[in-house]
Amino acid sequence: MNGLIATTIIPAEADAVRERRLASRRPALYNPLLALRRAPVDTTATATPRPVQLAAAQWTGDPSRLTRSQPQAQELLVLPELTGLPRGLQAAEIARRAERRGGSFEQLLAQRAKAGNGYLVGSYPEREGSRVFHTVALAGPGGTILARYRATHLSAAEKAWARAGDAPTLVSTPLGRIGLATAADLAVTEVTGLYQSLRTDVLAVPSGDPSALKVEIDRRLYAVSDPPTGRADLHPYLAAKLGQFWVVSGGRRVGDATAAGIYGPEPVVQTPTLTAVAGADSVRHRTVVPAPGTWINQQQLIDGQRNDLFKPLVLDPGNPCFQAWRTAGHGTVTCP
């Protein structure tokens, strides 16, 4: 994408956000995975393209809808966060309702996945001894829990009741390689890097209320028919784009905004960002993984860096404008 991007930065506000972001980073978690640079032939990545159906649930109001939720056959359906609890609980109450692995929440999640013969993702407060984690669980069509992930980067609200986990989670399925994360995780760019290095095809992200931070890129810079400007949450959008994988975010609708969306790896020209419309219980999309055109195995990225394939752009030293600029030494010059 070519173009000019302009913004106004207020240093005092930017400094506070930067400090919060830096404080949330966990460098020990990223080493050595983020240092890996895989070979063009990557046996870890999904090699054979396959069709998949993705779905992000949209809930309104406060109650949980878990008992009425189930995926379609061989579909990946992602539900909102704290899936079995009503919205708006205080930290102490969330901690009080925490349960062990294999408890009533995981059992119900697995039952609903089996009933729909698909894959179902939700999250819950998991208790292990005196500790509580925000855990994302993936249930499969066989009625079992296929993977669990304890959120590694907690929001301020989550820190009031949860401890941080210590590793990303990715599982190979017939739908491709599915990673698990939370909405708060996506605010830390390194999390995207971890799942990119793990060769994720789809990142399943149970989310809560819609974020106030939206995509604000000028609509005119998009080639797709329905740009996400003003309606799509920023962090899942960036994760999909930077990670070159699909992000499926189940979430809630509050007023005119929603956290339920499906984010593709090339939202500018090829994979329009899909968000659930008012009144719908979900948004669905049928696609292929790995997404066509992505550099999941780095071959395209490496080819793009071969300077023997591209003629370099060199400014003619005799160009009058260039000579005038060098003579002036700074500022804008008038060109003939």
pLDDT tens readout for residues 180-195: 999 999 999 999 999 9
Alpha carbons 143 and 137: distance in angstroms, whole number: 12
Show Cβ contacts of residue 22 under 8 Å, excluding neighbours closer than 6 positions.
none
The model's confidence at residue 1, banded by pLDDT at 50, 70 and 90, is very low
Cβ atoms of residues 98 and 126 within 8 Å? yes
Q: What is the mean pLDDT of residues 217-226?
A: 91
Provide the Cα torsion 156, 158, 163, 169; round to 10°: -110
The structural domains of the chain, ordered by start, are: 11-293 (3.60.110.10)
pLDDT confidence of residue 33: 78
Cβ atoms of residues 78 and 260 within 8 Å? no
pTM of the entire predicted model: 0.85
Q: What is the mean pLDDT of residues 322-334?
A: 75
Alpha carbons 278 and 322: distance in angstroms, whole number: 55
Two tokens, residue 24: 């949330």
Mean pLDDT in the chain?
A: 89
Tens digit of each residue's pLDDT (9 = 90 or more) over 253-276? 999 999 999 999 999 988 999 999
Tell me: pLDDT of 301 over 70: no
